[in-house]
Chain A
Amino acid sequence: MEKLLSIIFIYILVDNFVLQRFFGICPFVGVSRKMETAVGMSMAVVFVMALATLATWLVYTYVLDPLGLHYLQIVAFILIIAALVQLVETVLRKISPTLYQGLGIFLPLITTNCAVLAVALLAVQEEFTLVEAVVFGIAAAIGFSLALLIMAGIRERLEFAKIPRPLQGTAITLITAGILSLAFMGFKGMLSL
Chain B
Amino acid sequence: MNNIYLRDIFRGIVTDNPTFRLVLGMCPVLAITTFMINGLGMGVATAAVLICSNVVISSLRRFIPEQVRIPCFIVIIASFVTIIEMLLKAFQPNLYEALGVFIPLIVVNCIILGRAEAFASKQPVLRSLFDGIGIGLGFTIALLIISTLREVIGSGTILAETAAVTQLFGPNFEPMRLFALPPGAFILLGLLLGGMNFIFKRLNVK
Task: State in angstroms the CA–CA spacing of A26 and B24 once bound together.
Answer: 7
Q: Which of B24, B71, B185 contacts A82 (CB 8 A)?
A: B71
Question: Is A174's CB under 8 angstroms from B27's CB?
Answer: no
Render B61-86 as a binary contact track against A, CB cut-off 8 A, 1 for contact. Answer: 00000000011001100110110011
The interface residues of chain B lying within 8 Å CB-to-CB of A164 are 194
**Interface locus among B104-112, B125-133, B153-161:** B104-112
Render B184-196 as a binary contact track against A, CB cut-off 8 A, 1 for contact. Answer: 1111011101110
- Contacts A22-B30, A25-B30, A112-B110 given; does A178 touch B85 at CB 8 Å: no
Task: State in angstroms the CA–CA spacing of A29 and B70 once bound together.
Answer: 23
B170 on interface, CB distance cutoff 8 Å: no
A181 on interface, CB distance cutoff 8 Å: yes
Question: Is A121's CB under 8 angstroms from B82's CB?
Answer: no
Q: Which of B81, B185, B198 contacts A74 (CB 8 A)?
A: B81
Question: Is A166's CB under 8 angstroms from B194's CB?
Answer: yes
Task: State in angstroms the CA–CA spacing of A20 and B182 once bound together.
Answer: 6
Do most interface residues of chain B lie in helix, strand or loop, or is the interface mixed?
helix
The interface residues of chain B lying within 8 Å CB-to-CB of A176 are 190
B31 on interface, CB distance cutoff 8 Å: yes
- Contacts A22-B31, A74-B78, A79-B71 given; does A172 touch B110 at CB 8 Å: no
CB-CB nearest in chain A for B25? A26
B168 on interface, CB distance cutoff 8 Å: no
| A3-30 CB contacts (< 8 Å) to partner B | 19-26, 29
Q: Which of A19, A82, A165, A174 contacts B74 (CB 8 A)?
A: A82
The interface residues of chain A lying within 8 Å CB-to-CB of B75 are 75, 79
CB-CB nearest in chain A for B100? A125
A-B contact count (CB 8 A): 122
A63 on interface, CB distance cutoff 8 Å: no
Question: Is A112's CB under 8 angstroms from B108's CB?
Answer: yes
For chain A, the count of residues having a C-beta within 8 Å of the partner chain is 43
Question: Is B197's CB under 8 angstroms from A171's CB?
Answer: yes
B181 on interface, CB distance cutoff 8 Å: yes
Question: Is A74's CB under 8 angstroms from B108's CB?
Answer: no
B183 on interface, CB distance cutoff 8 Å: yes
Question: Is A75's CB under 8 angstroms from B78's CB?
Answer: yes
For chain B, the count of residues having a C-beta within 8 Å of the partner chain is 43
- Contacts A113-B108, A122-B101, A178-B185 given; does A25 touch B26 at CB 8 Å: yes
Q: Least Cβ distance of A142 to chain B in Å?
A: 19
Question: Is A121's CB under 8 angstroms from B78's CB?
Answer: no
The interface residues of chain A lying within 8 Å CB-to-CB of B193 are 167, 170-171, 174
| A157-174 CB contacts (< 8 Å) to partner B | 164-167, 170-174
The interface residues of chain A lying within 8 Å CB-to-CB of B105 are 23, 114, 117-118, 121
- Contacts A29-B26, A79-B74 given; does A175 touch B187 at CB 8 Å: yes
Q: Least Cβ distance of A108 to chain B in Å?
A: 9
The interface residues of chain A lying within 8 Å CB-to-CB of B186 are 174-175, 177-178, 181
CB-CB nearest in chain B for A120? B104
CB-CB nearest in chain A for B108? A114
Question: Is B195's CB under 8 angstroms from A166's CB?
Answer: yes
B23 on interface, CB distance cutoff 8 Å: yes
Q: Least Cβ distance of A87 to chain B in Å?
A: 13
Between A and B, 15 residue pairs with Cβ closer than 8 Å are A29-B23, A71-B82, A79-B71, A82-B70, A111-B108, A114-B27, A114-B108, A114-B109, A121-B101, A121-B104, A166-B194, A175-B187, A177-B190, A185-B181, A185-B183
- Given A171-B191, A178-B185, 19 extra CB contacts under 8 A: A19-B182, A22-B30, A22-B31, A25-B30, A78-B78, A112-B110, A114-B108, A114-B109, A117-B108, A164-B194, A165-B201, A166-B197, A166-B198, A170-B190, A176-B190, A178-B184, A178-B190, A179-B187, A181-B186
